Chains A and B, each alone.
Chain A
Amino acid sequence: MSEEQIKNLEKQFEERIARDEKIEPKDWMPDKYRQTHIRQMSQHAHSEIVGMLPEGNWISRAPTLRRKVALLAKVQDEAGHGLYLYSACETLGISRDALYEQLHSGKAKYSSIFNYPTVTWADMGAVGWLVDGAAIINQVPLCSTSFGPYARAMVRVCKEESFHQRQGYEIMLKLTQGTPEQIDMAQDALNRWWWPSLMMLGPTDAESVHTEQSMKWKLKRKSNDDLRQQFIDQTVPQAELIGLTIPDPDLKWNEERGSYDFGEINWDEFWQVVKGHGPMNKERMKARIDAWEGGEWVRDAAMAHAEKKAERKIKQAI
């Protein structure tokens, strides 16, 4: 193709997106579009499966049968989200194995929030309420993103994430109606998860890369700082309703802006965790790599068995 033809295709492509048409896997797309989507969708998929670990940590110790069943179902949903997102990614011509490879080698990132430990039962409440809550704020705009398979995956994922968020909030609510020890447990969890949840919405706009291009492709529809403000404005009244205190002395309603002002985020901590030095980065990666490497013989056996079965079928047919 001549340079001019490619320019033409690109122009038509951008026009389709501007008209709110969906791009499907078989459609022509600029290579940069493909690579950007592989990066963002796989990062999202990795976050879902790494995110299973901190909550999986409490399955065997859930306090009641009802809570245990709900937690199992939640973590299973996250595995399901990982599965759709990897499949959506595969439509762009990359295998799930290759994506795992990128995760394990550290080339691909996942949401840094999962590098914090879940130390008490209240963390199951805080994670559902805040982490799934922030995930929804990030993801609802993606339900109308330009790449069809991603947009459709997000519609389904967001429905389940909002269920998780309500479930997490309900765990917190129950704790705050309990004994002083339970109330302390809830407040402590909020204290530990609040700031990392704010960081989860991404670096401040001044430091955020690729934003303009992503806006055009509808991979990003609002800036990180806007999303963060939306999350804070939504969450503060929820905390007040159950008698918990947001651990930010600078938090204050700003009548003029119709929003909360809030204190400074410790971006050094954020970058430290992104760079691999959070409290659980090494353990999370080790758990994923162990599961993958430890499962290799199982996957090989399944493949070998399927081949044997197919061979037998052919022989029978002859």
Chain B
Amino acid sequence: MKNENLYNYILGIADNSLILGQRLGELTGHGPSLETDIACTNMSLDLFGQVRSYYQYAAKLKGGDATEDTIAFLRKERDYVNVLLVEQPDRDFAYTMARQFLFDVYHLLFLQELQKSHDITLTAIAKKSIKEVSYHQRFSTDWIKRLGDGTTVSHDKMQEAIDSLWTYTDELFHQTAADKAMVAEGIGVDVTALKVKYYSLVNAVLEEATLKIPESKWFQKGGKKGIHTEHFGYILSNMQYMQLAYPNMEW
């Protein structure tokens, strides 16, 4: 493929939104209140909307029979390159909000840089997504504060969620080969440059929420290379079910 680096670079962005959107969509109808239910469904919708724009662009680059759906549904486990953070399960609402927050802060910083890309399609997607993701970040930040500085029960649950998801944050700032190539061309975002700002923003919110900043220096990685957690295969078995059970059909 001529634009292989760009293609892989787009998947690196979009797979995160795909898998996070999928996780949020599992919660619809089961939220702790109607308002949070609507908000989580809305974030899922926004993310899938973004995914469609990215994959439509990727499909054009790939050519042939590629479509947004072949890219979304017809890859194997090892070919999805989302970070491990977004595939973590919804153990409870604290986990859901902690996962969202730890991703949203990164996502917004990332999009703010992506809108300066030399690739006009990516710039356009970034500009549109920033509005949505700013709202996601406000929503998840508010919930970190509410649960962190709410009751003892909620504080402990939120602390536990932050402690267990912390190990997946560092991977957000790892550069892939596609990243490096795209940064060199002025198309991609240098994620390593976002790290200091990310932790200072995250830490400030945790402090305000009366939560302890985890001290662990051990971090998990692998998602960006397609080496996922054990949860991942189950996400795919749901998501790909129709396309695999009824191949080559129009819906």
Contact = CB atoms under 8 A, between A and B. Distances in A.
Interface of A: 49, 52-53, 56, 59-69, 72-73, 75-76, 79-80, 82-83, 86, 121, 171, 174-175, 177-179, 181-182, 287, 290-291, 294-302, 304-305, 308
Given A304-B150, A305-B149, A65 B41 contact: no
B42 interface: yes
B151 A297 contact: yes
B38 A80 contact: yes
B153 A301 contact: yes
B218 interface: no
Nearest to A293: B32
A300 B154 contact: yes
26 contacts: A56-B29, A60-B239, A65-B51, A65-B55, A67-B251, A69-B49, A72-B44, A76-B45, A79-B34, A79-B38, A79-B41, A83-B35, A83-B38, A86-B34, A177-B250, A178-B249, A181-B246, A182-B249, A294-B92, A295-B33, A298-B32, A298-B33, A299-B33, A301-B150, A301-B153, A305-B150
Given A67-B251, A298-B93, A302-B150, 20 more contacts: A52-B29, A60-B25, A60-B26, A61-B241, A64-B251, A65-B72, A69-B49, A72-B28, A75-B41, A79-B28, A79-B41, A175-B251, A178-B250, A295-B31, A297-B151, A297-B153, A297-B154, A298-B32, A298-B36, A301-B154
A68 B32 contact: no
B28 A59 contact: yes
B209 to A, nearest CB: 9
A20 to B, nearest CB: 32
Given A61-B242, A291-B29, A295-B32, A76 B38 contact: yes
A297 B239 CA distance: 31
B217 to A, nearest CB: 30
Interface in B22-60: 22, 25-26, 28-38, 41-42, 44-45, 48-49, 51-52, 55
A119 B33 CA distance: 27
B93 A82 contact: no
Interface in B51-94: 51-52, 55, 68-69, 72-73, 92-93
B5 to A, nearest CB: 24
Main secondary structure of the interface of B (DSSP, over half): helix
Given A287-B30, A295-B32, A298-B93, A69 B150 contact: no
Nearest to B241: A61
Interface in B113-152: 145-147, 149-151
Contact of A304 (B30, B35, B151, B239): B151
Contacts of A83: 34-35, 38
B203 interface: no
A87 B98 CA distance: 30
A299 B146 CA distance: 10
A286 to B, nearest CB: 11
Interface in B224-241: 238-239, 241
